[in-house]
Amino acid sequence: MQSQRIHYLLDRYIKGLLTGEDERELAKLLQDPAQESFFREELVRFLEAEALIDGVAGREEVTEGGEAWEPVLQRVLSVDKSGVGEVEKGVLRRLGYGLRRWSVAAILLLLAGGGVLLFLRGREAKPIVTVAVKPAARIQPGANKAVLTLANGQQIILNNVQNGTIGQQGNIRVIKLDSGQLAYATPTAASPADQLAKDLLYNTITTPRGGQYQVTMADGTKVWLNAESSIRFPTAFTGKNREVELTGEAYFEVKADKDKPFLVKAGQTETRVLGTSFNIMAYSDEGAVKATLLDGAVSMGLGTHSALLQPGEQGQYDESRGSMATRMVNTRAVVAWKDGYYFFDRTPVKSVMRQIARWYDVTIVYQGAAPKDEIVGKLPRTADVLEVLHIMELIGIRFKIEGKTIIVRG
């Protein structure tokens, strides 16, 4: 009886016919380990109906572990379900690695690099043909590397310098910690505020393509810099505001100080906070400056084109149009890079390739029209680029590697 109920609920879920009560029931069943075997059967049934595994792995092979689909399905069913219980806020969307209500031609589940990738095709499905990427020089993923530019113009390559004090900026010591992060130590002896202001100096940390870095500022604010980014900041915050300038992308955990708002200038925008966690993306090739709030509250935008963001919201300022918009987003997908992985959530292939270009320090060239596919899933940033490309080849996207250039053939 239980298996019949699961079959009924999943069938209606796929067709988009679930009632609110049905959704709550399905969410609870998905969290019940005792129901995994039933869900596995129904997932296979769904894949077979889409003609995705016909001739590759039948149901008997899946359930008996004869092919790779068994561990794949197991990973799907055991995917992180933190935050469940709030169906109204999208629990089924968060759980839906195996099933989606979106209108797509086919879904392909693959296990790769320690994460589950789910590819959604935006056009007619193609036969699955495995074509290995041609041998090429190994393209390394990014790592902790950055350049620190001191106030006097001196540049320090942070990934080469030894741990310990690496510079003195006025009364502030610049320290490279054992963890490889950078920190600014305030003076041990109290100094008059006007003396600190007189000695106010600015530093800049720049990450190259294939680089990332973390810094703790003098006020205790922590900043994670993504690849191809830079941040300019004072070695000590002495004015009414704590102001920094950003290009590229960074995640901030701002130390609370009600008397000194924290201000991030990125492009034409300003993001003002007191103490909170948020992500700002301001790459020139992304089309808009995006600020995503995880907790607290921030004001983002420019002048009258500003918005007060709530947790889970993303502000998008289009500099070419001078317009501001907000929307709810999957914050896990936005800040996953900080924690060492990609979390794609219906991400267009071109957006994925831009991220690959920055992290693997490669050039992307499209041969013909760019693929319109979308990708959902989780992938560690330590994965070899060949693994990523090979998986994408399985859904019909073809690549050619020439040195540090990846040619995409849709």
pTM higher than 0.75 = no
DSSP 118-185: EEE-SS--------PPPP-------EE--EEE-TTS-EEETTTSPSEEEEEETTEEEEE-TTS-EEEE
Instruction: Give yes or no: residues 23 and 157 share one domain.
Output: no
Tokens of 2: 């239980």
Instruction: Give yes or no: residues 321 and 232 share one domain.
Output: yes
The arrangement of strands across the sheet holding 405-409 comes to 363-367, 405-409, 398-402
Instruction: Give yes or no: residues 65 and 157 share one domain.
Output: no
**What is the Cα–Cα distance from 40 to 65, expressed in whole angstroms?**
12
The per-residue pLDDT for 294 is 94
| 8 Å CB contact between 254 and 273 | yes
CATH of the domain at 298: 2.60.120.1440
Instruction: Give yes or no: residues 275 and 325 share one domain.
Output: yes
* Domain edge (last residue) among 101, 128, 160: 101
Instruction: Give yes or no: residues 178 and 259 share one domain.
Output: yes
Instruction: Give yes or no: residues 54 and 155 share one domain.
Output: no
* 348: in domain: no
* 171: in domain: yes
Number of separate domains in the chain: 2
pLDDT one-digit tens code per residue, 299-347 = 998 888 889 999 999 999 998 888 899 999 989 889 999 999 888 877 8
Task: Tell whether the model's pLDDT for residue 256 goes beyond 80.
Answer: yes
Instruction: Give yes or no: residues 148 and 271 share one domain.
Output: yes
pLDDT one-digit tens code per residue, 49-108 = 543 333 333 333 333 333 434 444 444 444 444 444 443 333 344 334 333 322 222 333
Q: What mean pLDDT is predicted for residues 121-138?
A: 43
Instruction: Give yes or no: residues 32 and 85 share one domain.
Output: yes
The per-residue pLDDT for 157 is 94
Element (H, E) at 40: helix 36-49
Instruction: Give yes or no: residues 163 and 280 share one domain.
Output: yes
Q: Which long-range contacts (CB under 8 A, 24 or more apart) does 100-106 make?
A: 100/376, 101/13, 101/14, 101/16, 102/346, 106/50, 106/51, 106/52
The per-residue pLDDT for 99 is 38
Q: Cβ–Cβ contacts within 10 Å for residue 258, how many?
A: 7
Instruction: Give yes or no: residues 295 and 242 share one domain.
Output: yes
Task: Tell whether the model's pLDDT for residue 260 goes beyond 50.
Answer: yes
Instruction: Give yes or no: residues 55 and 153 share one domain.
Output: no
Domain of residue 277: give its range: 143-334
* 175: in domain: yes
Instruction: Give yes or no: residues 148 and 23 share one domain.
Output: no
